[in-house]
Structure 1
Amino acid sequence: MAKIRVCMYENVDEVVFKSSIYPKRLPAILKGIAIGHCKQKWNKEYLKKVIGKNEVKVHVCKTPQMDFIRKNFIYKTLTFDDFIERASSEKHHEYFLSEIPDYGNWKITTYEKYHPPQPNIVEAEDEKYYLRSLGEDPRKDVSNFHQLFPTLSNDLKEPKLFDSESFFSSVLRIGSPGVQLWTHYDVMDNILIQVNGRKRVVLFSPKDALNLYLVGDKSEVIDIDNPDYTKYPLFKNATWHECLLEPGDVLFIPALWFHNVTSLDFGVAVNVFWRHLDPSAYDHKDVYGNKDPLAATRAIQIADRAIKTLHELPDDYRDFYARRIIGKIQSKACSQF
């Protein structure tokens, strides 16, 4: 499996970004960009004090690796200060998740009737927490950091790397140490502003789509460092683009680039998304910015209907015409296969 370090650029402004970095359509770490006073101010005590008892909806998981396909987490509504205290702590005295008690093959005796053994319970005192800020009405509103967290707004200076009319959303992200988010792609260009804490980010090119075992916009390969190659043999062919984000770094993630993000420390970041296609290309009901462009959605629906139609044929005919269709797509629609 090939591994490539993500390129770094120092003291990038809007002109340099648009002329020299953006056209390459490759991930890039931008260092030395002024992001305001947030880097110095956003420690856990400041965040707890400034946001206080406002409620947020967070992911809670027993394991560091969160799996959106199999939903190995639950959602909890917490006050912001409680969430920050939990997310910044390695162990918790109060937690939400634990395993079902297991008494093994215990059989009641006269003595044990009054002195039962302790059940084998795997406590979740190290459960993990992750916040992805939502709009006021999550079903209708996109996340806008400056509107949702006005008391933090002046601390953050977002880099001006795109036209303001292209802005889509800005998302506050806070996670426990060790939290690893599932590999997925976004349909819009975005920057990840790492305010504090460190993150490891592994990215995969859109051309690796067939090596990632996709379910929608997400990869089935959850543990990318210890993958099951008997189940996911093509994952060996994927090329990693890897980087370590330090506080103050800004990572440019082009649309359709897959990314897997691990918080090495308690970390705070803000993700900013913008439309780089014509606005008519996107689903106007998409509040998360993760629905495929309308034309892509139609194409996938047509493909599903084609597959269903092919199953009306005998096996050998189905195989023959499926290969013809694949060949036509390769020759007419793929730039490189």
Structure 2
Amino acid sequence: MAVTEFKPTKIPLPRYTGIDKNRFLQEIYPLRKPAVLQDLDLGVCKSKWTLDYMSRKGGGHEVKIHVSELPQLNFIKKNFLYRSLPFDVFVHRAAEDKHTDFFISEDEKYYLRSLGEDPRKDIADINKQFPELAADIKIPEFFEKDQFFSSVFRISSPGLQLWTHYDVMDNLLIQVTGRKRVVLYSPRDAPFLYLSGDKSEVLDVDNPDLSMYPLFSQALRYECTLEAGDVLFIPALWFHNTVAEEFGVGVNVFWKHLPSECYDKTDTYGNKDPTAASRAVQILDRALKTLDELPEEYRDFYARKMVLRIQSKSYSTNFE
């Protein structure tokens, strides 16, 4: 429970209709801010993707899923199990409020983030893993074909909340069925989010423990509710936290907006930092370890000088 009343200002995301590739690239993309795109032609998926249809077309091949007793998934503390189910069984279970067949309890929640055939080597691509379902959806062609990275099924039990995290590539979240709330934070607010890798330690963004995370109240909260057929543009590095207000199916499409050589070639999930960023962090870690050789007052002084060096660079943020 929070020890201080928390009532953040919720900044609504802009919504656009009548968007094609040219308008997207000219009016929305250069702003590097999230936006909801409505009334796009997504094909027949919105009407066809019922439970029975998805079960029949998706087939019985095994999918790896997250299973949790709690509705708030915590990737840092791993409050979930990894289990496998046939896809047709999984979609029916995920839509249930109570389960007669279960792993932990009748109230357990399910989450699928689809994977490649070999997750260590292959990216998720619905055209390869779910070809019959892929035929129903039209991916908005707002990027060049050689920029495509992955297309990922996201299927959640009603009420399930996914941890706050960022991705290193731009993406479109296509909400095909169901309703989903999305809360987002700017990359500039990273100092207030208590990061562990690409994830925030603040699990409950609606009722955070401000005694543990006092700076979190300074993070500006952007928010939208996606209805079936809405598409959310999430620029790289924007933090996002989702709640499935209903059972629903979404498809994330990620693409490389930086040159291909900037990305880690071993990254099949799209969440490893660019190679230059990883090298910089390693260098920083070595520098901080070197400072440990000095007495405390010297460590403090030279660490502050390092911070000033970073702030003086033209690319440093002003945090406004």
Give the TM-score normalised by structure 2: 0.96
Q: 1:198 aligned to 159, 174, 179, which one?
A: 179
Alignment of 1:256-271 (within 5 A): 256-271=237-252
Q: In the alignment, residue 181 of structure 1 is paired with which amino acid? A: L
Once residues 147 and 261 of structure 2 are traced to their aligned partners in structure 1, the CA distance between those partners, rounded to angstroms, is: 12
Structure 1 position 258, deviation (Å):
0.1
* SS of 1:49 mapped into structure 2: helix
Residue of structure 1 in register with 2:153 after alignment:
172
Residue of structure 2 in register with 1:211 after alignment:
192
Once residues 121 and 58 of structure 2 are traced to their aligned partners in structure 1, the CA distance between those partners, rounded to angstroms, is: 23
Does the CA contact (< 8 Å) of 1:56 and 1:80 recur in 2? yes
Structure 1 position 94, deviation (Å):
2.0
Residue of structure 2 in register with 1:18 after alignment:
25
Can you list the C-alpha shifts for 1:222-276, whole angstroms capped at 9, x where unaligned?
0111100000000000000100000000000000000001100110010000000
Q: In the alignment, residue 220 of structure 2 is paired with which amino acid? A: T
Structure 1 position 153, deviation (Å):
1.6
Residue of structure 1 in register with 2:66 after alignment:
59
* SS of 2:310 mapped into structure 1: helix
* SS of 1:317 mapped into structure 2: helix
Alignment of 1:257-336 (within 5 A): 257-332=238-313, 333-336=315-318
Once residues 295 and 68 of structure 2 are traced to their aligned partners in structure 1, the CA distance between those partners, rounded to angstroms, is: 47
* SS of 2:28 mapped into structure 1: helix
Q: 1:68 aligned to 75, 80, 90, which one?
A: 75
Once residues 31 and 127 of structure 1 are traced to their aligned partners in structure 2, the CA distance between those partners, rounded to angstroms, is: 33
Structure 1 position 52, deviation (Å):
2.6
Structure 1 position 62, deviation (Å):
0.5
User: Which structure 2 segments of 5+ residues have no match?
Assistant: 1-7
Give the TM-score normalised by structure 1: 0.91
Structure 1 position 306, deviation (Å):
1.1
Q: In the alignment, residue 125 of structure 2 is paired with which amino acid? A: N
Q: 1:221 aligned to 193, 202, 208, which one?
A: 202
Structure 1 position 54, deviation (Å):
1.4
Structure 1 position 336, deviation (Å):
1.8
Structure 1 position 328, deviation (Å):
0.7
Once residues 129 and 226 of structure 2 are traced to their aligned partners in structure 1, the CA distance between those partners, rounded to angstroms, is: 25
User: Which structure 1 segments of 5+ residues have no match?
Assistant: 98-123
* SS of 2:52 mapped into structure 1: helix
1:79 counterpart = 2:86: yes
Does the CA contact (< 8 Å) of 1:57 and 1:76 recur in 2? yes
Residue of structure 2 in register with 1:28 after alignment:
35
Residue of structure 1 in register with 2:218 after alignment:
237
Q: In the alignment, residue 317 of structure 2 is paired with which amino acid? A: S
Does the CA contact (< 8 Å) of 1:2 and 1:238 recur in 2? no
1:44 counterpart = 2:26: no
Can you list the C-alpha shifts for 1:269-288, whole angstroms capped at 9, x where unaligned?
10000000010100011000
Structure 1 position 2, deviation (Å):
3.3
Once residues 138 and 296 of structure 2 are traced to their aligned partners in structure 1, the CA distance between those partners, rounded to angstroms, is: 60
Once residues 74 and 268 of structure 1 are traced to their aligned partners in structure 2, the CA distance between those partners, rounded to angstroms, is: 21
Q: CA RMSD in A?
A: 0.8
Does the CA contact (< 8 Å) of 1:59 and 1:73 recur in 2? yes
Once residues 316 and 52 of structure 1 are traced to their aligned partners in structure 2, the CA distance between those partners, rounded to angstroms, is: 64
Once residues 76 and 312 of structure 1 are traced to their aligned partners in structure 2, the CA distance between those partners, rounded to angstroms, is: 46
Q: In the alignment, residue 146 of structure 2 is paired with which amino acid? A: E
Alignment of 1:53-202 (within 5 A): 53-97=60-104, 124-202=105-183
Runs of 4+ in 1 over 6 A off after TM superposition: none
Stretch of structure 1 that moved more, 217-226 or 48-57: 48-57
- Of the two, which has the highest radius of gyration? 1
